[in-house]
């Protein structure tokens, strides 16, 4: 996010370095120094943006850069407000210029003082930058382990749902998916299950994968959590599972292999002429799918791949590759949401009458998201059935999400989608918080606001409004922004985000 702030600021420096601007001696050099520091930091910030959320020291450094950028923007705006003035020409213009120079002497000294203070601050920030520049080359590798760590929490989060023995609303999609998996079509097919975080993609897939009919129909089975792990580790995990299922030891050299081609050949040879079902859980980008799809032999045995993802474009791309389909997971209905909430919050008992109104208000926040209902219902089950205590939880739910261990997994799984956003989308997404709760965002109004704020980066040959529309489509594909209204011709009219 800091990179977007810096980029926007850099585009506004030019007028203040124009020779016609009346600056006190030395101030121009100091502004040039500040601009140079921002230029040097810009590319580094693009990389740092991906990992700052899990590195406290780096997060602090990025925060300092962001605050310095805001302060610099304030000083430049103050300059334009106080000192930006056209004096005219001739004798009248000269007299106006002299009068203006005397009148603005104090504010110019104040601005010069602010510029020097910011420069001094940048010297300290630059020392921190130098420290991190030494590990610049390691950040991308670190980002993998960072995301792997987040993904681990993601898997733990899914366990919340898996522990529910009698999940509501799951039997119908489960039977549909089993029927699709076990049809008689001999071609290799990919079924992609897509939806926002917390909707129960992994839960549904696990129920289908563990079904007796599915286990009996396919000869080989493997469940691979993809997330942000290296492709080599994904392939090794698949080899261990496939060999282990039939009671065989995988080739000894597998653990030390780094050559993807050799690993892929082992898997391909193993699956040849077999009917198999493989789950690729939590696929985050098309590149990963392209890296591993070649291992699946197409031998007309009726094999199937189940893929879960938050990204609609990943789901569509994978299923189109192999004669498959996309299953878009829906949120729970009002009735199913209520049944699940009561089961989790009150056990076998029904909702007490004094808590029914509060319970339904809390359910509105959950908005049919199974993970949220289970997590928040579980938290409330540990509280007294007191309206006052439940009211306090309801009012402070945001703080509870941040500070309560029982809701840590929910917070993590919801945050994961945000942390995975590229730097240019983070500001656009955070900007939505200025709208009232349960608000629809008009398509063109949102685009114009983003453009006016300077969040949209121009591209050669493309209108800036078209770039902004691409931003919206990417947020929709990532299951972060939801389409709320559509026009008759099928174009998007308005959007919303989930209450959580």
- The one-digit pLDDT tens for each residue of the chain (500 residues) are 556 666 666 655 555 555 444 445 556 677 777 777 777 676 677 666 666 555 666 777 777 777 777 777 777 777 666 655 554 445 555 455 555 555 555 666 666 777 777 777 777 766 665 655 554 444 444 444 444 444 444 444 444 444 444 567 788 889 999 999 998 889 999 999 998 888 888 888 988 999 999 999 999 999 988 876 788 888 888 899 999 888 888 888 888 887 888 888 899 889 898 999 999 998 888 888 888 888 888 888 889 999 999 888 889 988 888 888 899 988 888 888 888 888 888 876 688 888 888 888 888 888 888 888 888 887 888 888 888 888 887 877 776 666 666 676 677 777 777 877 887 888 889 888 888 877 888 999 999 999 988 888 888 888 999 999 999 998 888 888 888 888 888 888 888 887 77
CB 435 within 8 A of CB 496: no
Cα atoms in the 13 Å half-sphere on the side-chain side of 211: 20
Strand partners, 483: 495
29: CB partners within 8 A, 6+ apart: none
3-state secondary structure of 486: strand
Q: DSSP for 255-317?
A: GG---HHHHHHHHHHHHTT--EEEEEEEE--HHHHHHHGGGS---SS--EEEEEES-HHHHHH
Look up residue 97 and give its two tokens.
């210029």
CATH of 421-496, one of 1.10.10, 3.40.1400, 3.40.50, 3.90.550: 1.10.10
277: CB partners within 8 A, 6+ apart: 181, 209, 214, 217, 218, 220, 221, 303, 304, 305, 306
* pTM for this predicted structure: 0.70
Q: Which DSSP symbol is given to 493? A: E
Q: What is the CATH number of domain 170-328?
A: 3.40.50.300
Domains of the chain, by residue range, sit at 2-134, 170-328, 344-415, 421-496
Burial of 36 (0-12, 13-18, 19+ CB in 10 A): exposed
Query: Which strands, in side-by-side order, build the sheet including 441-442?
Result: 441-442, 492-496, 482-486
């Amino acid at each position: 996010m800091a990179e977007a702030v810096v980029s926007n600021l850099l585009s506004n420096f030019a007028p203040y370095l124009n020779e016609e601007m009346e600056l006190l001696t030395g101030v121009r050099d100091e502004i040039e120094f500040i601009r140079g520091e921002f230029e040097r930091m810009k590319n580094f910030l693009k990389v740092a943006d991906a990992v700052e959320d899990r590195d406290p020291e780096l997060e602090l450094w990025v925060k300092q850069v962001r605050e310095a950028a805001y302060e610099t923007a304030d000083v430049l705006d103050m300059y334009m407000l106080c000192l930006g003035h056209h004096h005219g020409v001739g004798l009248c213009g000269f007299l106006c210029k002299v009068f203006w120079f005397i009148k603005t002497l104090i504010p110019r000294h104040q601005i010069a003082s602010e510029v020097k203070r910011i420069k001094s601050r940048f010297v300290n920030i630059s020392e921190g930058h130098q420290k991190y520049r030494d590990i610049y080359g390691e950040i991308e590798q670190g980002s993998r382990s960072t995301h792997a760590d987040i993904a681990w929490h993601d898997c733990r989060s899914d366990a919340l749902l898996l522990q529910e023995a009698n999940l509501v609303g799951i039997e119908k999609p489960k039977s549909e998916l089993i029927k699709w998996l076990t049809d008689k079509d001999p071609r290799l097919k990919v079924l992609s299950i897509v939806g926002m975080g917390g909707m129960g993609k992994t839960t549904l897939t696990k129920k289908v994968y563990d079904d007796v009919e599915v286990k009996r129909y396919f000869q080989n089975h493997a469940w691979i959590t993809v997330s942000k792990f290296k492709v080599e580790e994904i392939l090794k995990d698949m080899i261990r599972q496939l060999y282990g299922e039939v009671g065989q030891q995988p080739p000894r050299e597998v653990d030390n292999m780094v050559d993807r081609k050799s690993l892929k050949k082992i898997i391909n040879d193993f699956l040849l002429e077999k009917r198999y079902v493989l789950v690729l859980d939590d696929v985050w980008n098309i590149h990963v799918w392209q890296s591993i799809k070649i291992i699946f032999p197409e031998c007309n045995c009726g094999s199937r791949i189940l893929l879960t993802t938050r990204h609609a474009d990943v789901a569509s791309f994978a299923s189109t590759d192999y004669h498959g389909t996309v299953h878009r997971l829906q949120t729970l209905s009002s009735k199913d949401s209520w049944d699940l909430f009561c089961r989790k919050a009150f056990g076998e008992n029904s909702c007490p009458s004094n808590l029914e109104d509060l319970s339904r208000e809390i359910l509105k926040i959950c908005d049919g998201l199974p993970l949220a209902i289970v997590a928040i219902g579980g938290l409330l089950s540990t509280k007294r059935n007191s309206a006052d205590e439940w009211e306090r939880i309801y009012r402070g739910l945001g703080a509870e999400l941040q500070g309560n261990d029982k809701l840590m997994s929910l917070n993590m799984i919801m945050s994961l989608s945000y942390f995975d956003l590229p730097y240019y989308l983070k500001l656009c997404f955070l900007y939505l918080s200025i709208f009232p709760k349960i608000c629809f965002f008009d398509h063109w109004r949102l685009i114009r606001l983003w453009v006016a704020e300077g969040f949209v980066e121009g591209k050669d040959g493309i209108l800036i409004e078209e770039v902004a529309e691409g931003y919206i489509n990417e947020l929709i594909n990532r299951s972060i922004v939801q389409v709320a209204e559509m026009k008759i011709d099928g174009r998007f009219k308005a959007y919303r985000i989930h209450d959580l």
